Amino acid sequence: MVCLIDRPSSWRLGVLLGFILLMMLPWVRLPAKSAAPAESRTVVAAKGMAVSVSPTGTQVGVEILRKGGNAVDAAIAMAFAMAVTYPAAGNIGGGGFMLIYPGNGRDPVVIDYRETAPQLATREMFVKDDNPYSHRVSGTPGTVRGMELAHKRFGKLPWKELVMPAVRLAEEGFTLNEALAKSLNAVVAEGNAEFKRYFGKNHGIEPWQAGDRWVQKDLGKSLRSIAENGAEAFYNGPIADLLEAEMKRGGGLIRKNDLAAYQAKERKPIVGTYRGYTIYAPPPPSAGGICLVEMLNILENFDLKQYGPNSAETIHLFAETMKRAYCDRARYLGDADFVEIPAFLTSKEYAKKQAATISRTQATPSEKLAPELKIASEGESTTHFSVVDGNGMAVANTYTLEHSYGSRVVVRGAGFLLNNEMLDFNRKPGVTDRKGNIGTEANTIAPGKRMLSSQTPTIVTKDGKLVLVTGSPGGRTITNTVLRVVTNVIDHGMDIQSAVDAPRIHHQWFPDELRFEAASLEKQTTQHLRALGHKVFAARQGDAHSIWVDPKTGNYHGVADQRIDGKAEGF
């Protein structure tokens, strides 16, 4: 049976005829459209590489590498710098995951610095009010503790030396490029008076222009305190006092005892294999690692290479695979310190059973996979950056404020934005509906619990050697963006720029929609997908700043994804 949405009868007839034709003929395998631009943006270097959405952040990371710092040092410096230069997602008031590949035969580790629910949080606190821009939606920030733990475990240069570039950028200012000026102007127009005062030019009266210099004195003061006194300044010092005062002023929940109790955690990554490659990604409370490995395991049962990356059959197989993994995400995943996560989700045997349920001739309606569950939306303003040093140590770091510019709440006197990550919990326990609300138990609110995330910083190796460092922002699209980059490299042999530039696919189970960067999708392919029962929509997706290692020369090939902005730089 073909699943059709409500369209005019002529449209339905066309789709039906297309479906009949499709059944009479073998799969039409369209050649992949090359997404690579005429001029290469790939940067090649032998001693180190950094790639991020912020050109200034990238420069800070490379400068640390040049001074003899390792990849973790560079990542820490970039994270703090981007709290200044990319405030939509760079932060000290949010959280994330850092995947570290130490090299030299040492096992990779994940630094989990995801935010936690404050002690005053309650299970049903958002049932009647889930305004995304308020003090109540902020979780206890983890970024500064996360950077501290990474430094203690792997850092080489002194802590202060890593934070001071951010201090100087805030205190002395930096020059806005066009992308950041437009971003600031758009969000300032929607902000409250305090937000306009801090992020607007002349309190929001004038628009920012590319070339303007932006100075952030309050943030500079906070960063200087962190540089000189370590993470304690944030969690037990003067910054904690300012944060608690802001919470009380606006009816928020975070208190100094939440900050004092917060811990970043070192965890073992999720590990999988795919066609001879080893995949490392973060464990829960990130859903990214489990979903990525589950999807790769399912796809391993199909010969993707013969169909090409953008054929109707390949896209159909990806969509069906994504549906199944995201359905499992809703069923099972949450903070593993609070709920038990089934081990079978990443097994080859389970994936083989899942693959066997995929029809080549018809899309599976999402309802049939688990009619009792539906899935909610997630914010998309996250950012990812990748770093590799001259000794082969690599870092994939993804961190976020949740929505663009988080809760839009500035901590007065401290100059930084707070997240709105509490919205990533299942906010209405027991309530699931076709609109996308989900109330399953695994990801409900509890004090001290970490909300489920889609962040998927990923490292790929082969025969013990580094191959790929990647990741992306994009809410629930994150894992699917990473999936496409990985398979573009492994299955289709794309160079790293083509793999990053290539069109992306997203299906998150509910709503039952296949989203594709359709500007490069052949009309005939779209028709075939609709004939199979897919509801196809156009959407931009992801921002995957990536590094590939040439197995012949050992050189690093870095490319910045241009869907937003960015820069790759090496030496």
Domain residue spans in the chain?
43-267+388-420, 271-378+456-570
Q: Which of 551, 569, 570, 559 is nearest to 35 (CA)?
A: 559
* Partners of 395 in the β-ladder: 100, 387
Which residue in 251, 62, 266 sits closest to 153, CA to CA? 266
CA separation for the pair 264, 141 (Å, rounded): 10
Residue 29's nearest CA partner among 303, 314, 299, 300 is: 314
Query: pLDDT value at position 522?
Result: 78
Q: Which CATH number fits domain 271-378+456-570: 3.40.50.10800, 3.60.20.40, 2.40.50.100, 3.40.50.720?
A: 3.60.20.40
pLDDT value at residue 433: 58
Give pLDDT, residue 428: 77
User: Contact at 8 Å (CB) between 433 and 424?
Assistant: no
pLDDT, residue 435, reads 56
Instruction: Note the pTM of the prediction, 2 decimals.
Output: 0.92
Catalytic residues: 382
- Residue 319 CA to residue 296 CA, distance in Å, equals 13
Query: Strand order in 270-274's β-sheet?
Result: 43-45, 556-559, 546-549, 465-470, 458-462, 277-281, 270-274
Q: Per DSSP, what are the bridge partners of residue 206?
A: 201
Q: Are 116 and 258 in contact (CB under 8 A)?
A: yes
Please name every residue paired with 558 in a beta bridge, in sequence order, or none if there are none. Answer: 43, 547
**Residue 25: predicted pLDDT:** 30
Predicted confidence at residue 350, as pLDDT, reads 98
Residues of the chain with pLDDT under 70: 1-38, 372-380, 430-439, 518-520
Sheet with 382-388: list strands edge to edge: 265-267, 109-113, 95-101, 394-400, 382-388, 49-52, 567-570
